[in-house]
Amino acid sequence: MKTAYYKITEEKRQKIEQAAMEEFSCHSFNEASLNNIIKKAGISKGGMFKYIDDKTDIYLHIFEIAMEAFFSNQNKHLDQNETCVVTRAFDMVYKSKDFYLDEPLYFQLMTQGSIDFNSPCYDQLAAMKHDLLADQRNALLDNVNWSEYRVPKDKVLDYINTLFQGINIKLLQLLTGDGHYDLDGYFDELLLLKDIALGGLKGA
């Protein structure tokens, strides 16, 4: 983003970012319309180009906002006094429920970007997400008692990765209105899923 962008009012920035978030969360980079963003934001085309060089500027900007907000919110719910990594991971997601409810576009946007392989920004987004995930993973795995489980560490990690891929897909369906359950109900179901996971990994 150009320097001029950071000199406009917070209200104007929020309108531009909200318009861009709505457009890019529903469309791939190539399908998204900068004209739609300009129209929704209530500014002129000339005005927009005072703030950006091209579409990639605003695209990367809102992804940075969404990713940092998303991971920051999850990480604040990561209890490192808890020695069970499965409980840590489930609780981190469960306690982030309000964020999912309040900011559904953030999660939609991140998911859309992760599958938009034809985007010219795909590699940059992947690198950004990789760094944030690496930090989160380090915190998630710190001070874990691996002896609690009846399977090896690598199998626990494989299980968690597979499980949370499914959870993320389900959350995306619910947030985009394609799911069969209400979001509050699904988060309650996660508590039951956690008990099932712990029973399988730790045994009776």
Give the tens place of pLDDT for each residue, 9-34: 999 999 999 999 999 999 999 999 99
Looking at this protein, which amino acid is placed at residue 106? Answer: Y
Query: Which pLDDT belongs to residue 171?
Result: 85
* Greater pLDDT, 185 or 47: 47
> How large is the C-alpha radius of gyration of the chain?
19
State the pTM of this model.
0.86
Q: Mind listing the pLDDT tens digit for each residue in 98-128?
A: 898 888 889 889 988 988 999 999 999 999 9
Is the per-residue pLDDT at 53 higher than 90? yes
Structure tokens that stand for 193 in this block: 């899923």
CA distances from 3 to 7, 53, 66, 109 (A): 7, 11, 21, 25
Q: In terms of C-beta distances under 8 Å and separation of at least 24 residues, what long-range contacts does 71-77 make, across chains too?
A: 71/132, 71/133, 71/135, 71/136, 73/99, 74/99, 74/136, 75/135, 75/136, 75/139
Query: Which pLDDT belongs to residue 186?
Result: 87
Helices of type H across 53-152: 55-75, 85-94, 97-102, 104-115, 122-141
Share of the chain above pLDDT 90, in %: 70
Nearest Cα neighbor of 115 from 22, 54, 21, 25 is: 25
Across 70-77, average pLDDT: 93
- Average pLDDT over all residues of the chain: 91
- Give the separation between CA 178 and CA 139, rounded to whole angstroms: 33
- Give the separation between CA 68 and CA 70, rounded to whole angstroms: 5
Looking at this protein, which amino acid is placed at residue 128? Answer: M
Across 135-140, average pLDDT: 92
CB atoms closer than 10 angstroms to residue 45: 10
Q: Which range is least confidently modeled, 4-8, 72-76, 107-111?
A: 107-111
